[in-house]
Amino acid sequence: MNAPTPATLDSLTHPQAFSERHLGPDAQQMQHMLQTLGEDSLESLIDGTVPESIRLPAPLALPAGLSEAQVLETLKGMAAQNRVNKSYIGMGYYNTLVPNVILRNVLENPGWYTAYTPYQPEIAQGRLEALLNFQQMTMDLTGMDLANASLLDEATAAAEAMTLLKRANRSKSQRFVVADNLHPQTIDVVKTRAEFFGFEVVVGNPAELLAGEEAFGVLLQYPASTGAVEDIEPLIQLAHERKALVAVAADLLSLVLLKSPGEMGADVVFGSAQRFGVPMGFGGPHAAFFATRDSYKRSTAGRIIGQSIDANGAPALRMAMQTREQHIRREKATSNICTAQALLANMASFYAVYHGPVGLKRIAERVLRLTSILAQGIRASASLSLESDHWFDTLCVRVGEQQSAILARAYEQGVNLRPVGDDRLGISLDETTQAADIEQLWSILLGADHGLSVATLDASISAAAAAGIPAELRRRDPILTHPVFNRYHSETEMLRYLKRLENKDFSLAHGMIPLGSCTMKLNASVQMMPLSWPEFANIHPFAPRDQVGGYLQLIDQLEAMLVEITGYDKVSMQPNSGAQGEYAGLLAIRNYQQSIGEGHRDICLIPSSAHGTNPASAAMVAMKVVVVECDEQGNVDIDDLRAKAETHRENLSCLMITYPSTHGVFEEGVREICEIIHANGGQVYMDGANMNAQVGLSKPGLIGSDVSHLNLHKTFAIPHGGGGPGMGPIGVKSHLAPFLPNHVVSPIAGPRAEMGAISASPFGSASILTISWAYCALLGGEGLKRATEVAILNANYLTEQLSAHYPVLYRGRNQRVAHECIIDIRPLKERSGISEEDIAKRLMDFGFHAPTMSFPVPGTLMIEPTESESKVELDRFIEAMVTIRGEIARVESGEWSLEDNPLVRAPHTQADLVGDWDRAYSREQAVFPVPGLRESKFWPSSNRIDNVYGDRNFVCSCPSIDSYRD
């Protein structure tokens, strides 16, 4: 035998090549799966699955994948180009000290960040409890009856408040009064949103504006953007007298000390929970809070966590009123919000739990005291004065002509202040501010020889002078009295509380979450690491652009990669969810059509299979939705589409189409569909949430579409966070590029100046773009394509294996599916009475999260394995589904009654096993239906939860103290 030739460096793959780690199946497993499909190679499978007409002529022009070490090194280089100045800019974004026990055990913990939205509450009690705490904290601090479990940001929360007030008020008026002392980005977003709702937004002094014509609502801010703390109660009263309802933007930390807007009669109170332990991150992600009156609960946007009971009568949590969700309300929806900010809401609620009422008061009092000392020093100077006599954490200093000189001095010392007009400066303090910082601020404002001392002033200023907050605006009622906010103040207790909740929740750390239309792929550890670096975490979104070179480079490079991947010309990073992307894309279409004299076009064609956010987004830009039918194969009925496009050709604005379709197949006719729309004067919006079956094989821009959003929290590896964060950037062809969102505070090069903002910050939740950048850089052009191919392989392998036991609803050419498949449970249900929900719950007993249930077709399960699941995990799922099919057969045959079988009584908890057992099946059958579970078992913490009971007995606050005594 010859000695083997030594490998050359070139022939050895890099030992750290990421692609192999990202993919679930290894080469041998893939070979085996291909064999079962009767394919020789991955190439032949793809050739037989993806229509020739949409295939890319050439590979993606992206560099080869980097190793994990290289990616971290490159990102370190970018981070070094961000300058972490001490920020006093404020405007809704503050420095905060993330408690390390929360940083490490929540933000950096896949048990928390890889979970899905808690649609399956039996395996989500942990984050449901954390979100309930978030609601309770919001209710306490705002003084309102009801709160939701987060919105996307403060500015979009303001827009949601506006539309809620309109729905709640019987007034015919379309006029909406906005106080001119709101954060400018909030006003910007409200104006954008108002335009197509047909509201007239008037900005100015609310008392004067209310004296005029009737208005349906008023928007106030408390404290004002530049810091003034004023009594808004008279304004609220005036508004109510004038038949207008009132929404108040509020600051969570100030509310610890201030009389609550709820007590003053506000109808809605909202704001950002960022400063409760969530880093600024150049704009996000952070949770917005939103609170209102109990009577508006059914028209409130976003998710509300409520209490219910499980099958044994034990209390349990779940998302209340799920029927309000936009996928059911569709074009009647009043908001398109879907993904919110669950992970960040959890962090903020844990911050409140950890500090408790006493700790929060200490933080808030300290901020107030430091602000008062700073104010006192400024008042003592001859050259400067304060705009307001009352403050919490923010001062507006009149500096006259010195503005630019002072700003320059600040920048020199690594300090950012907020320019207000051309003669004032805003200074916002926060929990990180120290005495030395105050002295530095004085020297920036007054010169090094200011002669002031914090210690002297602190000792000498009288209570009255230091007040800041007028006595009548001091909060008198207690806050956060609930036990949960008073128990976990040592780190040991906190750690165990976090772990206890985490252990109730199913995440990707436990097993596959095979959610059709939601791509739950690997969120690699390396991709998550840069998030915690101060150079990405501690940057204010309105920091001067010359301080954020690293972020701008990251955004440019990610945009370039997404342009190459999608075939579009330009990408906007502003939308911070998929639904926001849809909204931004439809706005671009509308504004473009207006610019060419076709503003009357308002018909939006949407196939019946579309995701519910599509019609909801269309409604938000005042488009009329016309539904296009699908044929038996689940494809868009092209004849129906053509007929409807032609009927509406004078008024056709656009088509919204999902590709591959929400039915999980590559439609052959998609190019023709785009041509029909264009021929009738419309634009094509391609919902790109499902890019996982396209990247590297096809491009929306190539197929003929004009605009798409991409869900970076699906295809591009941002974790789902248990219901957010997300990022939904949109790609557009060049004719739409001038109509992308701009930003009033931080203008963006490219879009027209008059384009409004759709998010509070110019690049949305910018800090999590590091994840998608890293994902693309790690895989490179080849790796991205390979990921898509393996996603298709995994889906087809699963389809093939399951089809012997369950009917598969739709298939494309050669009987192939794209990246997901729908199995039809209706025939089984007819024969056995067992429903898709029973199967979903039973899967929990096998250690799986259910697939997507009853969307887009009622009575079905939509399964998407993604490329990250190995054959071993797919086989485990198949084994579970086959075993479940066997169980259904025993119900069908009458061996088990419909009331007493392991399916309808699923999921099973540990508590089920103790005490008497009088069921038709054994304990073993209940909890160890397959042998592998004895080695590793995830235990659901609740039995089946009763949704109807919860909606009838609606409670969305923490359980009363009494219930703890039981």
Ligand X SMILES: *Cc1c(COP(=O)(O)O)cnc(C)c1O
For the chain, report the end-to-end CA distance as a whole number of angstroms: 79
What is the spatial distance between Cα 356 and Cα 794, in angstroms, rounded to a whole number? 47
Tell me the two tokens of residue 21: 């780690």
Using alpha carbons, select from 590, 607, 605, 562 the residue that is nearest to residue 730. Answer: 562
Nearest-approach distance from CB 709 to ligand X, in angstroms: 7
Pick between residue 338 and residue 562 the one whose CB is nearest to ligand X: 338
Alpha helices in 424-524 (DSSP H): 435-446, 454-460, 463-466, 491-504
Give the nearest residue (CB) to ligand X.
Answer: 578
Strand (E) positions, 153-212?
175-179, 200-204
Pick between residue 660 and residue 902 the one whose CB is nearest to ligand X: 660
Pick between residue 707 and residue 904 the one whose CB is nearest to ligand X: 707
**Hey, what amino acid is at 538?**
N
Nearest-approach distance from CB 301 to ligand X, in angstroms: 12
Pick between residue 285 and residue 468 the one whose CB is nearest to ligand X: 285
What is the spatial distance between Cα 162 and Cα 187, in angstroms, rounded to a whole number? 11
Specify the DSSP class assigned to residue 763.
Answer: T
Tell me the two tokens of residue 904: 């309808």
Pick between residue 284 and residue 902 the one whose CB is nearest to ligand X: 284
**Hey, what amino acid is at 759?**
S
**Hey, what amino acid is at 556?**
D
Nearest-approach distance from CB 345 to ligand X, in angstroms: 15
Pick between residue 339 and residue 742 the one whose CB is nearest to ligand X: 339
Pick between residue 18 and residue 116 the one whose CB is nearest to ligand X: 116
Pick between residue 296 and residue 855 the one whose CB is nearest to ligand X: 855
Tell me the two tokens of residue 413: 């010392």
| 3-state SS class at 147 | strand
Alpha-carbon dihedral 853, 855, 857, 859, rounded to 10 degrees:
20
- Residues in the site for ligand X, rule: CB under 6 A? 338-339, 517-518, 577-579, 611, 613, 658, 662, 687, 689-690, 711, 726, 728
Nearest-approach distance from CB 7 to ligand X, in angstroms: 44
Specify the DSSP class assigned to residue 56.
Answer: -
Q: Where does residue 671 rank: exposed (0-12), middle (13-18), buried (19+ CB within 10 A)?
A: middle
Nearest-approach distance from CB 612 to ligand X, in angstroms: 8
Pick between residue 716 and residue 896 the one whose CB is nearest to ligand X: 716
What is the spatial distance between Cα 461 and Cα 373, in angstroms, rounded to a whole number? 8
Nearest-approach distance from CB 151 to ligand X, in angstroms: 12
What are the residues whose beta carbons fall under 8 Å from the beta carbon of 407, sequence distance 6 or more?
417, 419, 425
The angle at the Cα of 54, spanning 41 to 667, to the nearest 5 degrees, equals 90
Pick between residue 418 and residue 714 the one whose CB is nearest to ligand X: 714
**Hey, what amino acid is at 895?**
E
Pick between residue 711 and residue 788 the one whose CB is nearest to ligand X: 711
Strand (E) positions, 840-895?
852-853, 860-863
What is the spatial distance between Cα 688 and Cα 691, in angstroms, rounded to a whole number? 5
Pick between residue 274 and residue 765 the one whose CB is nearest to ligand X: 765
Nearest-approach distance from CB 688 to ligand X, in angstroms: 8
Nearest-approach distance from CB 199 to ligand X, in angstroms: 23
State the helix-helix crossing angle for 184-197 and 154-168, rounded to 10 degrees: 40
Which residues on neighbouring strands pair with residue 219, listed in sequence order? 178, 247
Evaluate whether 865 touches 796 at the Cβ level (below 8 Å): no
Nearest-approach distance from CB 724 to ligand X, in angstroms: 8
Nearest-approach distance from CB 285 to ligand X, in angstroms: 12
Report CA Rg, the chain: 28
Half-sphere exposure of 665 (CA within 13 A, CB side): 25
Nearest-approach distance from CB 643 to ligand X, in angstroms: 25
Nearest-approach distance from CB 761 to ligand X, in angstroms: 17
Evaluate whether 375 touches 428 at the Cβ level (below 8 Å): no
What is the spatial distance between Cα 601 and Cα 592, in angstroms, rounded to a whole number? 11
Nearest-approach distance from CB 6 to ligand X, in angstroms: 49
Pick between residue 439 and residue 582 the one whose CB is nearest to ligand X: 582
